[in-house]
Chain A
Amino acid sequence: MALAQAKRTATEARLAALELPAGAGWATRAREEALARLRETGLPARRDEYWRYTDPATLNAPAPEPAALFDPREPMPFSEVDRLKVVFVDGVFDPEASDDLSMAGIEIERLAETAARDIHWAKDLYGVLEARGQSPVPRPLAALNTAAATDGIVIRVTGKAPRPVSLIYLHRSETSDAVLHHLVRVEEGAEMTLLENGPAAARFNKVLEVDVADGGAFHHVRAQGRDHERRAATHIFARLGEKSIFKSFTLTVNGKLTRNETVIELTGDNAVAHVAGAALGDADFHHDDTVFITHDAVECESRQVFKKVLRNGAVGVFQGKILVKPGAQKTDGYQISQALLLDDDSQFLAKPELEIYADDVICSHGSTSGAIDETAMFYLRSRGVPRDEAQDLLVIAFLAEAIDEIEDEAIADDILARLQAWLARHRH
């Protein structure tokens, strides 16, 4: 199908400002192929089915809109967690601020170095899951990332990583346009936790490709930075082997525009994938969770839990899909998306989809939207709880199902503390 002229023009305008990074043969090939994928689909447009609720214009533009720097005046998330820190400033690795990258059971390298080497396992992963994730729904911003990313982290997990790896994204320039591409390969029976936090840049395009081998486990908790003016498009592409586990949780507060896409393929029997998110938005906030889970093996379990609390005209979007391929029997798929609208100006736009080609499955989804339950509020008020506190309590209760998806208690407590602080700051 011929691309619409407007789309082609926008795509070429973006590509004109782009230079393909130099690298080894395999890396150059992967980047060129990604570029070809992008040219085929073109950059996203509002008329595309999966962009009807989110305007991609500022994500597409050749240059980012400047974003004012923001000092949250509080310690960053996960500060109390014993972790291995990897710091990026405006999308560039900062060796000074980072910890020593060596740790038992895990190999960590920079993408820039990996891509320069002629022989590296990364060649079987870089852009591979992203390319698989382009069908049936194109994800052009991810293809753009594969073509353009110069930096990122490349992780191979061979045992049980003793500490989480914590990626910290600092924002120092008002006009930074960061593109990061991370790879994680969890070998058979291995296990790791990846933490991410920070606003990263004025505009941030990030891809994380995760390949979990049989029996492996990957835990992921991210807190997207509090910068009000940042814009971000992130993608997670994951492939799960037999009896492997993938669990991801994202907390988003503030940010003009955030589009988080998660694309998971369950390819081994008895694999488990949980994706969860809690988003709190005030005023100029547009948050979009787009999730696509493909069941291509038997007896797999997937769970999507997304909760949004919106006020003062904030917009929350959820587009989630469970695809059960022929033969993926005994699938257990669950999906819930809920919005709590704290006032009359906010919006919740959802498209929870099921596409099922196997009969012996249990799949369900639910989606609700509404205001704070006045009966519950009345109950709390009648017990002497002040209105503001009562509202916070009810909001936390509403978000609990998503936060419960975080397995590590210390990390879950950290996330909860941040939620409470945000609510306390945003009382009327």
Chain B
Amino acid sequence: MKKGERDMTVMEDDIREGVDRETVETVRAMAGKYKHGWETEIEMEFAPKGLNEEIVRLISKKNEEPEWMTEWRLSAFRRWQQMEEPEWAMVHYPKIDYQDQYYYAKPKSMQEKPKSLDEVDPKLLATYEKLGIPLREQMILAGVEGAEEAPAQARKVAVDAVFDSVSVGTTFKEELAKAGVIFCSISEAIREHPELVRKYLGSVVPQSDNFFATLNSAVFSDGSFVYVPPGVRCPMELSTYFRINAENTGQFERTLIIADKGSYVSYLEGCTAPRRETTQLHAAVVEIVLLEDAEVKYSTVQNWYPGDEEGKGGIFNFVTKRADCRGDRSKVMWTQVETGSAVTWKYPSCILRGDESQGEFYSIAITNNYQQADTGTKMIHLGKNTKSRIVSKGISAGRAQNTYRGLVSMHPKAKNSRNYTQCDSLLIGDRCGAHTVPYIEVKNNSSRVEHEATTSKVDDDQLFYCRSRGMDEEEALALIVNGFAKEVLQALPMEFAMEAQQLVAISLEGSVG
């Protein structure tokens, strides 16, 4: 039997003595390839194909935006027309025809905005149900093991679900509002909280930042907005789930998180898309503003459709994420598990402006088959006594290319600052590549910068040990890779850790033998 096509019934019979039920269940859950490759059949409303000022105006109009927002988009669009697509990343893909895309797609049933989740099209609810993201205000995300024992308060997760270009609904809004936390779609925030959006939108990632961010500024359709007021510890995890469904449609989400003085929020982000022969574009911008003593944890499990074994189809993922630690003693932590997408171009960054602010970046990037990932971070130390830590684990298999690209910059005024960077790459097979491109710029002597990187292959002894204990090669590999990546997996919130571990195994399927 071919790898990756294991028959479940056979597996049932195959259970060896001494292997417990749980292990079998876990392995079974891991089997099968890209799990979220199905499509929801739903009537959609599209804006005409292509990109011009009319489309930008149309998106703005559909979102019922005020005039200033329309103008903001148009100025970004005009700027974008003068820009060239960047070519410096170690990713190669056919030229994207930006006129051959839909920039707006909305389920017809969302024409009339549903007043509550009960009014949302059941097909949409079913879609998220199937993805394990129920849009009911239930206590926990489905499939989280061990959650039953956790205290009730810790188990709640508020979800904003974005389907193609629109937000389908946001859960726990009222309970959050009681705490003063605003959690809604960005389109709603533009209408309901214009003073906050106007003040902060584009203040971390300016319109002119880069080609993809500028494109996003012009055409973003939806995304999430979070405001945590001073001194508030957000009572539950917030989460946004992005789903691309329609064909030939780009998704351009925009997320803005504002953590006011002394506040805390943990934010989770997940994404999937159907399996298709053609590639699809995704260009997102995430901005985080942290005022004094604020803390934000931002965790991503990126599982866009990666394309098939031949490298056909998949999502082109061009993402600009940046956190601005404006206040003293603020702290941001980016954790990402990048397993999906045909092409990933993504550098979640931290501007450590406030004195004693901290930035952390934990990343696992797994590429298999023909996937290409160029990802990393920037730590810009501007304030005194700032600290940053980077732990990046790149795993490359098949014919994939995996690049860590990062910048650590210590400005002359960032006295007594620290950075520690560790980048490890693991190669599985002799046709893939693993690359490290760090930039280190130190402009004062009281700061200490340390960078370490290694590249190696899966240790034969470890593999042999696992095999001799009765594991098959793929199981053994998944175990070893999970061990290799454990520093990052441990940084994930519980809701994601389990999913991430399974994803590691699935992403590597077919990479041995």
Contact = CB atoms under 8 A, between A and B. Distances in A.
Nearest to B451: A367
Interface in A329-379: 329, 339, 341-371
A354 B456 contact: no
B445 A352 contact: no
Interface string B411-455: 010010000000001011111111111111111111111111111
B438 A352 contact: yes
Interface residues of A, number: 36
A369 B455 contact: no
B88 interface: yes
B457 interface: yes
A80 interface: no
Residue picked from A49, A356, A370, most chain B C-beta under 10 Å:
A356
A25 interface: no
Contacts of B434: 354, 356
B95 to A, nearest CB: 15
A351 B455 contact: no
A354 B432 CA distance: 14
A365 B453 contact: yes
Contacts of A365: 436, 451-453
Binding site secondary structure of chain B: strand
Contact of B453 (A49, A349, A354, A362): A354
Contacts of A363: 454-456
Given A342-B445, A364-B452, A370-B449, A359 B457 contact: yes
B433 A351 contact: no
Interface in B385-430: 410, 412, 415, 425, 427-430
B500 to A, nearest CB: 24
Interface string A49-68: 10000000000000000000
Contacts, number: 115
Contacts of B429: 359
A105 to B, nearest CB: 40
A427 B453 CA distance: 35
Contact of B438 (A344, A356, A367, A371): A367
Contact of B450 (A343, A353, A368): A368
A313 to B, nearest CB: 10
Interface in A214-259: none
A386 interface: no
Contact of A371 (B443, B446, B451): B446
A329 B431 CA distance: 12
A350 to B, nearest CB: 4
B303 to A, nearest CB: 25
Contact of A370 (B436, B439, B445, B456): B445
Interface string A65-86: 0000000000000000000000
Nearest to A327: B430
Nearest to B413: A344
A176 B253 CA distance: 60
Contact of B442 (A351, A352, A369): A369
A21 interface: no
Nearest to A317: B441
10 contacts: A326-B431, A341-B445, A345-B412, A354-B436, A355-B433, A355-B435, A365-B452, A369-B410, A370-B448, A371-B445
Given A341-B442, A349-B441, 19 more contacts: A49-B88, A345-B412, A351-B439, A351-B440, A352-B436, A352-B451, A355-B433, A356-B435, A358-B430, A360-B457, A361-B456, A364-B453, A364-B454, A366-B450, A366-B452, A367-B450, A368-B450, A369-B410, A370-B448
Interface of A: 49, 326-327, 329, 339, 341-371
